């Protein structure tokens, strides 16, 4: 059973995201084409004029899949990338341990489903779903854990440099944890085997994540790309040169943020140089000080001529940051669309002028599918509590108060009494203005005192009714805590393993069947 509601009604999405979906006029300068089916024809035409090196892309992908079982559909999609009428739809994500939050699945399913939708409307073109692994990130603390069955499972180790290069030979301790937590069911055994085959059979985190994601999505033709690659970065050299010499990203994004920030929260701020210097155990910012290029927190430095030579000889040592990574992606891929979360869309919107300056086509941006998954039992409990789909998104204290008021035999809402009181004091103020205006201050003070008195009585009565209806309050609290762990959206907290234990191998097919990327609404799914 599927129900959708507008994102804005959930209360969990930023003004930037909801205004984008509403096509608010003041945001239109910050993107190219809005994500609807009709606009993809124009996007295809525009992207067709921008060439990328398809041979390098395909040869790189084939090397990366060399030691991985490759499905016929994924192999076909990689081969199709050589053709000029083949385009990509891309999503990206960090290398979170065991995929991290549940929305990892939603991102990739949104990407696969959009490709299938586009193929039906544009049969002469091919569309390949890409998962861009964020292998060059260095924020290990953000990816070293996942939450499942009320447990936080953490990979404790020291970290430096790009996370994709981290060795996975010490993940036996995590395997032991999940074996105990998941239990002994058939689904639990599959999950443990999946973790073991991915993380203990692969040498580093990038390989492990590729293996895991391939196992989950290969049958749908997903292509997984690691852009931490010398050949791909060689294609990006002209753009990296401009960054080092002209600071284009800083200048353009800074100007954009000045106007964007008047109405919306700035997601990312540009650096003077938006490149890191990258080696096996190092990823540090490149700084430009006193005509010298320096690598932050190291003694490494270059003159202008030296750093350009370094870039030409070792392009793999230059890692784009969050500002430049989207440009890198759009340069090396024949990409039409990027699918991401609200925060990602926000920083992409800051980049439109930068893309224009670099003469690179700006992709269509789609807010990934979001969902909350309910079991049939949970749906039945909500029905018995008379909680509607829309009401489950209320803050817990508001939801409890609302249901207590509905259930109580007493009049718990003093709105009528407050209105009568307000009218009485309005009449008193009218009398005061005709007699002694100094009397108005005393009238206002008395009104405030009596209104506060009514509010306090209302709160005390509601509190008493909550105690009386304690069983119902506890049941509401329990069900909402299950669906919104830690008062957060389920998808931002819970790992897919928790759902897999319940639904097994049907989890991904069920999600794929029900998530529609162009509907642009939040989904409530009852399995």
- Residues 82 and 105 grouped into a single domain: yes
Please state, for a pLDDT cut of 90, what percent of the chain lies above it.
Answer: 87
Q: Is the pLDDT of residue 462 over 90?
A: no
Domain carrying residue 365? 2-234+324-370+508-526
Query: Between these two residues, 441 and 27, which has the higher pLDDT value?
Result: 27
Return the axis-axis angle of helices 507-514 and 103-121, rounded to nearest 10°.
50
φ and ψ at 433, to 5 degrees? -65, -25
**In the numeric block, which tokens belong to residue 292?**
């010298």
Q: What mean pLDDT is predicted for residues 231-235?
A: 98
Q: What is the CA radius of gyration of the chain?
A: 28
Return the axis-axis angle of helices 304-313 and 237-246, rounded to nearest 10°.
160
- Per-residue pLDDT tens over the stretch 134-171: 999 999 999 999 999 999 999 999 998 999 999 999 99
Q: What mean pLDDT is predicted for residues 256-276?
A: 97
- Taking the C-alpha atoms of residue 112 and residue 93, their distance in angstroms, rounded to an integer, is 15
User: Could you tell me the pLDDT band of residue 428, with boundaries at 50, 70 and 90?
Assistant: confident
- Residues 26 and 51 grouped into a single domain: yes
- Taking the C-alpha atoms of residue 69 and residue 25, their distance in angstroms, rounded to an integer, is 48
- Per-residue pLDDT tens over the stretch 382-402: 999 999 999 999 999 999 999
Establish if 250 belongs to a structural domain: no
Q: Is the pLDDT of residue 380 over 80?
A: yes
**In the numeric block, which tokens belong to residue 284?**
């540090």
Q: What mean pLDDT is predicted for residues 366-371?
A: 98
Give the Cα-Cα-Cα angle 276, 358, 39 (nearest 5 degrees).
115
Q: What mean pLDDT is predicted for residues 493-501?
A: 98
Establish if 301 belongs to a structural domain: no
- Residues 475 and 518 grouped into a single domain: no
**In the numeric block, which tokens belong to residue 186?**
């058939």
Contacts 24+ apart (CB under 8 A), 405-409: 405/462, 405/465, 407/469, 407/472, 408/465, 408/468, 408/469
Establish if 53 belongs to a structural domain: yes
Largest CA distance in the chain: 93
State the average pLDDT for the chain. 94
- Residues 212 and 118 grouped into a single domain: yes
- Residues 90 and 119 grouped into a single domain: yes
Q: Is the pLDDT of residue 36 over 90?
A: yes
**The overall pTM is greater than 0.85:** yes
Helix, strand, coil percent values for the chain (each to nearest 5): 55, 15, 30
- Residues 364 and 386 grouped into a single domain: no
- Residues 200 and 81 grouped into a single domain: yes
136: helix, strand or coil? coil
Question: Which pLDDT score, from 0 to 100, does residue 409 have?
Answer: 57
- Residues 135 and 166 grouped into a single domain: yes
What is the H or E stretch that residue 293 is in?
A: strand 292-295
Report how many domains make up the chain.
2
- Per-residue pLDDT tens over the stretch 79-114: 999 999 999 999 999 999 999 999 999 999 999 999
User: Could you tell me the pLDDT band of residue 422, with boundaries at 50, 70 and 90?
Assistant: confident
Q: What residues pair up with 133 in beta bridges, in sequence order? A: 93, 226
Query: Between these two residues, 448 and 345, which has the higher pLDDT value?
Result: 345
- Residues 216 and 73 grouped into a single domain: yes
Return the axis-axis angle of helices 325-332 and 237-246, rounded to nearest 10°.
150
Establish if 71 belongs to a structural domain: yes
- Taking the C-alpha atoms of residue 519 and residue 106, their distance in angstroms, rounded to an integer, is 14
- Taking the C-alpha atoms of residue 483 and residue 396, their distance in angstroms, rounded to an integer, is 12
What dihedral angle (degrees, nearest 10) is formed by the CA atoms of 298, 300, 301, 307? -130
Question: Which pLDDT score, from 0 to 100, does residue 123 have?
Answer: 97
Establish if 310 belongs to a structural domain: no
- Taking the C-alpha atoms of residue 104 and residue 101, their distance in angstroms, rounded to an integer, is 6
- Taking the C-alpha atoms of residue 340 and residue 363, their distance in angstroms, rounded to an integer, is 12
Give the Cα-Cα-Cα angle 381, 385, 390 (nearest 5 degrees).
90
Question: Which pLDDT score, from 0 to 100, does residue 75 have?
Answer: 98
Length of the chain: 527
Q: What mean pLDDT is predicted for residues 270-286?
A: 97
338: helix, strand or coil? strand
Question: Which pLDDT score, from 0 to 100, does residue 315 have?
Answer: 98
Note whether 319 and 136 are within 8 A (CB): yes
Q: What mean pLDDT is predicted for residues 472-495?
A: 96
User: Could you tell me the pLDDT band of residue 4, with boundaries at 50, 70 and 90?
Assistant: very high
Q: What mean pLDDT is predicted for residues 442-451?
A: 79
* Contact partners, residue 305, CB within 8 Å, separation at least 6: none
């Amino acid at each position: 059973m599927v129900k959708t509601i507008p994102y804005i009604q959930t209360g969990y999405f930023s003004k930037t995201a909801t205004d984008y979906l509403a096509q608010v006029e003041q945001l239109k300068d910050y993107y190219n084409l809005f994500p609807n089916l009709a606009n993809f024809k124009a996007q295809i035409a525009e992207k067709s004029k921008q060439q990328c090196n398809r041979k390098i892309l395909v040869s790189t992908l084939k090397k990366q899949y060399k030691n991985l079982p490759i499905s016929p559909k994924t192999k076909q999609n990689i081969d199709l990338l050589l053709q000029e009428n083949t385009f990509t739809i891309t999503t990206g994500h960090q290398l979170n341990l065991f995929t991290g939050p549940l929305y990892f699945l939603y991102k990739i399913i949104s990407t696969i489903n959009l490709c299938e939708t586009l193929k039906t409307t544009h049969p002469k073109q091919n569309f390949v779903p890409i998962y861009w692994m964020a292998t060059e990130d260095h924020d290990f603390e953000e990816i070293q854990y996942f939450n499942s069955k009320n447990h936080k499972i953490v990979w404790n180790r020291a970290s430096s440099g790009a996370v994709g290069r981290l060795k996975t030979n010490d993940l036996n301790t995590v395997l032991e944890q999940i074996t105990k937590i998941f239990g002994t069911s058939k689904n639990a055994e599959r999950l443990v085997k999946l973790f073991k085959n991915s993380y203990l059979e692969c040498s580093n985190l990038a390989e492990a994540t590729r293996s895991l994601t391939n196992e989950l999505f290969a049958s749908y033709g997903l292509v997984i790309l690691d852009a931490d690659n010398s050949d791909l970065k060689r294609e990006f050299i002209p753009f990296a040169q401009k960054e080092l010499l002209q600071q284009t990203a800083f200048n353009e994004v800074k100007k954009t943020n000045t106007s964007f920030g008047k109405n919306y929260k700035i997601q990312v701020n540009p650096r003077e140089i938006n490149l890191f210097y990258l080696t096996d155990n190092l990823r540090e910012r490149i700084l430009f000080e006193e005509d010298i290029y320096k690598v932050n927190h190291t003694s490494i430095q270059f003159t202008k001529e030296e750093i350009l030579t370094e870039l030409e000889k070792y392009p793999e040592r230059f890692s784009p940051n969050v500002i430049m990574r989207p440009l890198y992606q759009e340069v090396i891929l024949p990409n039409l669309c990027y699918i991401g979360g609200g925060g990602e869309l926000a920083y992409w919107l800051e980049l439109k002028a930068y893309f224009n300056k670099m003469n690179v086509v700006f992709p269509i941006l789609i807010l990934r599918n979001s969902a909350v998954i309910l079991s049939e039992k949970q749906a039945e409990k909500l029905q018995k509590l008379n909680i509607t789909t829309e009401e489950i998104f209320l803050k817990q204290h508001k939801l409890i108060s609302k249901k207590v008021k509905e259930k109580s035999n007493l009049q718990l809402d003093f709105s009528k009494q407050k209105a009568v009181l307000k009218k009485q004091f309005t009449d008193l103020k009218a009398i005061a203005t005709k007699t002694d205006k100094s009397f108005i201050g005393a009238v206002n003070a008395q009104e405030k005192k009596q209104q506060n008195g009514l509010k306090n009585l209302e709160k005390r009565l509601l509190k008493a009714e909550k105690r009386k209806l304690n069983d119902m309050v506890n049941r509401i609290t329990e069900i909402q805590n299950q669906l919104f762990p830690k008062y957060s959206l389920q998808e931002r907290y819970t790992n897919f393993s928790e759902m897999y234990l319940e639904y097994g191998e049907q989890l991904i097919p069920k999600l794929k069947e029900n998530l529609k990327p162009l509907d642009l609404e939040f989904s409530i799914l009852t399995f």
